[in-house]
A and B are shown apart, each in its own frame.
Chain A
């Protein structure tokens, strides 16, 4: 029945043209350049690839990039949840302004974010000055890398959690409260279980954005080899030394990890939707 009705409908034109254009544009600008990276990095042989990737300085930079991104994503998962919760559930003055400001890291160029965070967290900066006596040094240390990554990946957490929180069924919470559960019990036993898939997705998105970040990090990191040098910076350093094989090898490792991550995010997102009953 459905198909007979569909047959009577006029056919929308342009399928071949638009699909063709999409494929050509995508291939020329994204797919072919990306495959060039893989072809070049494995072109000099597995052995060379392995030697480059396992060099101590490269390992240290990959550890920092992935470790700091994990930490930043974890911090954002916690505080992003609080921000999303407050924005969805409570009303207070200037709430709309705050809500709009969550997207600042999307809109502010990373280089600007980088110099601003450095000025703020440097030993003589507004916040760095008060952290210094506590023995906390942020700028020019690995902690600075984490701060920059927290900044750029915050909106991914808040914007992923907000719609899910908005659609949470409040009847269940009220039922829990009526049955004598405290606020905290309701949160841990009722809200959090419903939120897990979205929280994981938010964490993964924040991590994916943070791990490849360059602009905001290089100003605040201090960029000391083995200590506060991120992997994307090492790629640039190797490029400037005309070590193309080295640069592409690091790039290939990062690409493989990012693609794996992206596929798991896609799987997570469909899980989130089935968990939420396709609401």
Chain B
């Protein structure tokens, strides 16, 4: 297989921007509801950040601000050196470099697995079909489902669909991968196959922003843990101290609940 399309490639390219993602004084409101309140976060290249927190704490909204699926009212989001504004051209530029994996997979049901993976490379990257298919086979092999390439998403299990979604995002050769609760919609026996795929990706040096409640995964791959509550970042720490001696009382309460299960 083509060596030029290794997973880790994005991490060491483009040295001009110091951070992969830079979030400065970010505020967002839904009507009167202050959903993100003064969020600051800098993600270095190759860094893996796991964001956790109770539901409604703004974790998903934060991720969605990074690829402009949500707008924000105050502050700055800078992705790979590009400041996100209302400029649609810029937004699409950023989205090309940021892969996103959703809780509910969001595969295109009318397209085969192969077509799901090649759609964006062909029509956004203007890649020849042959090349796009070769890359798709490469990543489908990495997520260990090359044999499903000609099936439709509805014919796959949830775990397989989520792995296709990961492969689909990787086919764009992104510099950053974001995961929004990728295992929450899965049956328990399928969680592991998706997490294994994500661990392999982490080991390849991909910059990752992951919203998840899978604390085992977080311990294994995270460089830093981010705990959010009520739209604010409450605590940022390396996983070891984060889990063994959380500083904030709300972190302690949350971890107490989630780890007690």
A and B interact physically: no
Binding site for A on B (CB under 8 A): none
Residue numbers of A with Cβ under 8 A of B are none
